Chain A
Amino acid sequence: MTGTDTVLGAPAERREGREKVTGAARYAAEYDHPGRALAWPVPATVARGRVTGVDARPALELPGVLAVLTHENAPRLGEPDDPALSVLQDPRVPHRGWFVALVVAETLEAARDGAAAVRVLYEAEEHHVTLSAADPEAYVPETANGGYPAVTEHGDPDGAFAAAPVRLECAYRVPPLHNHPMEPHTTTARWDDGLLTVHTSSQGTSAVRAELVRLFGLPEDRVTVLAEHVGGGFGSKGTPRCDVVLAAMAARHTGRPVTLALPRRALPAVVGHRATTLHQLRLGADAEGRISALTHEVTTYSSRVREFVEQAAVPARVMYAAPDSLTRHRLVRLDVPTPSWMRAPGEAPGMFALESALDELACATGVDPVELRVRNEPETEPDSGRPFSSRHLVECLREGARRFGWAGRDPRPRSGAAGPLLVGTGVAAATYPVLVSPCVASARALPDGSFLVRVNATDIGTGARTVCAQVAADALGVPPERVRIEIGDSRIGFAPMAGGSAGTASWGWAVHEACVRLTRKLAGHTGGLPEEGLAAGADTSDAAGAKSPWSRHAFGAHFAEVAVDTVTGEVRVTRLLGVFAAGRILNPRTARSQLVGGMTMGLGMALTEGSTMDPAFGDFVESDLASYHVPAHADVASVEAYWVEEDDPHLNPMGSKGIGEIGIVGSAAAVGNAVHHATGVRFRELPLTPDRVLTGLLDHAHPPGTLGV
């Protein structure tokens, strides 16, 4: 039997799995064209100013160095959509780490030595890199990332807050965070007779091609962008980054194929990061915890290169019923690297703040934190008033509580002492919007009984190949073994990137449509198939591009157990359990991996991940993997992900919501709330590193002035 029960929804193994475990999978640096040269960038060493001179001779005298590209000799580029791609076009240095030269050489060693030998002179200007909510240059932008209005206001939030019996006002801080995919941003570029071909580590080849077309002034059919395997992205490869532009320029300049793999330490400055968010939250509620007034105000920064506003106050527009509310974003432009997307931009830091505040409200009112959230469930989306297409947050909370063993929890802080350890538990909710974009796909029935499905999806580790093949097999009514799938090639046609948790919905919709059309065509066909087969195509611009009358979001609930060492201040997450309502789960095997992965990144956000902008040098202090601590094996004891069945007819033909990002949303708050339960201390600034926790514990035990120090 074929059909939905056995094909779509089956835990199919990753199609490219064998290549990945045997080392046969090829990533962007691994296309060794004859005569290929290697490139190495030279980052600016001032935070603001201009390059006054570049002496390339010491580099060019080194054996093996082929060329040094600078703003003086690099190919002139057209106007990009993203100004951060205007590299080596002028002497301006908008932030430290901005690339001011590129060395191309016969070997990696020569390129690296050459980069160290280039002498760059600057005229440095005074820089301003420190974010403060009181910055006089802070302004309210028109929109935040995702096109959301920067401000929403309902009723009289100030009046309602003043009138509320329970009033809570707290400030939270989430530090800069780095995506750090395991594969650095990498491109291999070559030119053949005016045709540009790049293998690039990107989340979407259509967007890369569009920028290369603009930059190099080429017709679309002269640019091919390939991304067969991509070693993670987490937002930082959502749009092209400077590696692809520099590699293409270097290849044109030298007439050789060129590979540029950005050095790890260069990434924080040039591939985007999550900007600091400063949160001001006010909750007014009655004695039973029913929220009447909600204010979430976020101050964040962007660079001088372009405006990017982390939309961290947006989830507060969706989560809880609050008749009087205000959400607002404020922005300060600084001489810092340009922030961009990092897994669940907006939701991840925003829900840390909001869900921590909910926990504070639970403590203030004595209402169980699970119950408090249930009590504040809205009937329709609070901001727009639109009905939810489906919302099963309460089911996630209840199911999570059951699985976690929440019932009978002693709510008193410090009630779980075990020797030098303080053990506590916490809960937080999660949400992520349902996004979907137009896409094209084709399906071809071949005489040998197989099918070829082509869609320009990108598999950054999500299992895109596998799930798109499942969607196709389901629509065609054939076993998935008979479906071949081709992805990651701009020649296939337009497709959105793997991002916004929208990949499967967008690509899958087009695949489904193409396969349904092919099935109809086959039903009307008599006799054998011609040699080239029978094909059908689909373009979902109308259907997927249409505005929905529904408020569409995935929801979830995280439960965390922590053990806090009172001697060292170390926090260990002993258990992290999430339950999600994300529509239909199309492949439970790959879905669980993605959800667990998101939760793990949330664990890192809670405990170890944080970057510091050095005010003197204007540089991130933690710029490599030795100083910026992503979770390691030893940090991850038990992470479990589950989901509740959700049948939502208002999404797409598969009935799926996205799952790539919701795992990170709220998980840090669950950990923080558990730390409060364990210690009685509320930490409002991430990450919860031992220095911070130990100081908090000491202050708690010995209020200022009582310790004699």
Chain B
Amino acid sequence: MDSQHPSAAPASRPAEAAPHSETTLRVDGKPHTLTVDHRRVLLDLLREDLGLVGAKKGCDHGQCGACTVLVDGRRVNSCLQLAVALDGSEITTVEGLGTDGEELHPLQRSFLERDAFQCGYCTPGQICSAVGALAEAASGHPSHVTDPAAPSGEPVPLDRAEIRERMSGNLCRCGAYPRIADAIEDVIP
């Protein structure tokens, strides 16, 4: 192989040369129509295109949960979702959880009250994941620790073990887990 390389970098070809498609998403209630690089994941669309940096990039591989957002009400690792495949979806990020931009979501409030974070980098993902987990339990989704004898399709009561199990896709290296479980318990009706 030739080990020489040009002394001056050539002008780059425009990034638009990569395959793109028009995609429409509703993000935190607002519609956005963008021409999206097919390789772009939802996380990068939120952070790079819309400037919504609440969802964090911890691993980019679906291993840490810091990028968790809600797609049509269900929690997902946004680093694993190709944005172009989400045309027409309703996305909720941590920025969109509060009611009118001023009022905090009850989970945001309980995270503050319980000191359920330290560095804060996993926090938006933890909060979005908790919103999703509460909804899943309410609509009867069992988890690994749910009693197999529990009636199918009925709301699953969330004890500490259920909360911990359901939140295990969201890593926190600061070790705020006990406080996060406290904060989630606080908002269980």
CB within 8 Å of B: which residues of A? 13-14, 16-27, 29-30, 32, 52-57, 60-68, 70, 72-73, 105-110, 113, 119, 121, 180-184, 229-232, 234, 261, 263-265, 460-463, 589-590, 592-594, 596-601, 624-626, 630-634, 636-639
Contacts and interface: CB of A to CB of B under 8 A. Distances in A.
Interface of B: 1-7, 9-10, 12-18, 37, 39-40, 44, 47-48, 51-61, 63-64, 66, 93-95, 97-98, 104, 108, 111-113, 115, 117-124, 127, 160, 163-165, 167-181
B61 A593 contact: no
9 contacts: A13-B112, A21-B123, A55-B3, A60-B12, A109-B18, A183-B121, A229-B119, A600-B175, A625-B59
Contact of A105 (B15, B44, B66): B15
A182 B117 contact: no
A597 B173 CA distance: 8
Contacts of B172: 182
Contacts of A600: 175, 177
B177 A23 contact: no
Given A63-B15, A109-B40, A180-B173, A462 B6 contact: no
A634 B1 contact: no
A461 B175 contact: no
Contacts of A72: 5
A20 B123 contact: yes
B119 A460 contact: yes
A20 B117 contact: yes
Contact of A594 (B48, B108, B118): B118
Nearest to B108: A21
B116 to A, nearest CB: 9
Contacts of B97: 22
Given A30-B47, A107-B37, A634-B165, A263 B173 contact: no
A329 to B, nearest CB: 28
A110 B1 CA distance: 23
A633 B163 contact: yes
A229 B121 CA distance: 9
Given A23-B94, A180-B173, A110 B118 contact: no
Given A182-B171, A590-B115, A68 B9 contact: yes
Nearest to A66: B12
A21 B104 contact: yes
Contacts of B47: 29-30
Given A21-B127, A63-B14, A68-B5, A182 B119 contact: yes
A593 B182 CA distance: 13
B63 A624 contact: yes
B63 A184 contact: no
A297 B153 CA distance: 60
A589 to B, nearest CB: 5
A54 B3 contact: yes
A23 B124 contact: yes
B140 to A, nearest CB: 21
Nearest to A108: B44
Contact of B63 (A55, A232, A626): A626
A594 B119 CA distance: 11
Contacts of B94: 21-23
A231 B17 contact: no
B175 A22 contact: no
Contacts of B108: 21-22
A27 B54 CA distance: 10
Given A633-B168, A633-B180, A182 B3 contact: no
A599 B14 contact: no
A257 to B, nearest CB: 14
A107 B15 contact: yes
A626 B123 CA distance: 20
A182 B176 contact: no
B12 A65 contact: yes
Nearest to A181: B173
A596 B178 contact: yes
Given A68-B9, A599-B175, A634-B168, A55 B111 contact: no
Contacts of A109: 18, 37, 39-40, 44
A55 B10 contact: no
- The interface centre, meaning the residue of B175, B180, B181 with most chain A CB atoms within 10 A of its CB, is B175
B106 to A, nearest CB: 11
A573 to B, nearest CB: 12
A16 to B, nearest CB: 7
A63 B13 contact: yes
- The interface centre, meaning the residue of B2, B13, B122, B167 with most chain A CB atoms within 10 A of its CB, is B13
A371 to B, nearest CB: 30
A200 B31 CA distance: 33
Given A23-B53, A121-B1, A182-B121, A630 B173 contact: yes
A633 B170 contact: yes
A160 to B, nearest CB: 41
Given A20-B120, A63-B15, A593 B179 contact: yes
A606 B124 CA distance: 28
A708 B8 CA distance: 70
A632 B171 contact: yes
Contacts of B56: 27, 182-183, 231
A56 B54 CA distance: 35
A123 B151 CA distance: 65
Given A23-B124, A55-B3, A64-B18, 12 more contacts: A22-B94, A22-B104, A25-B120, A32-B48, A52-B3, A64-B13, A66-B12, A68-B9, A181-B119, A261-B57, A626-B61, A633-B177
Given A264-B58, A600-B175, A462 B98 contact: no
B117 A21 contact: yes
A636 B135 CA distance: 23
Given A56-B5, A231-B119, A636 B178 contact: yes
B1 A55 contact: yes
A600 B177 CA distance: 9
A639 B112 CA distance: 20
Given A119-B1, A462-B118, A182 B58 contact: yes
Nearest to B37: A109
Contacts of B18: 63-64, 109-110
Contacts of A70: 5
Nearest to A65: B12
A265 to B, nearest CB: 8
Given A30-B47, A63-B17, A23 B118 contact: no
A461 B120 contact: yes
Nearest to B163: A633
Contacts of B10: 60
B176 A593 contact: yes
B9 A53 contact: no
B177 A636 contact: yes
Contacts of A29: 47, 53, 57
Contacts of B124: 21, 23
Nearest to A119: B1
A120 B55 CA distance: 35
A106 B173 contact: no
- The interface centre, meaning the residue of A25, A261, A263 with most chain B CB atoms within 10 A of its CB, is A25
Nearest to A598: B175
Contacts of A52: 3
Given A32-B51, A63-B17, A232-B173, A106 B12 contact: yes
B104 A60 contact: no
Contacts of A630: 171, 173
A385 to B, nearest CB: 37
Contacts of A64: 12-15, 17-18
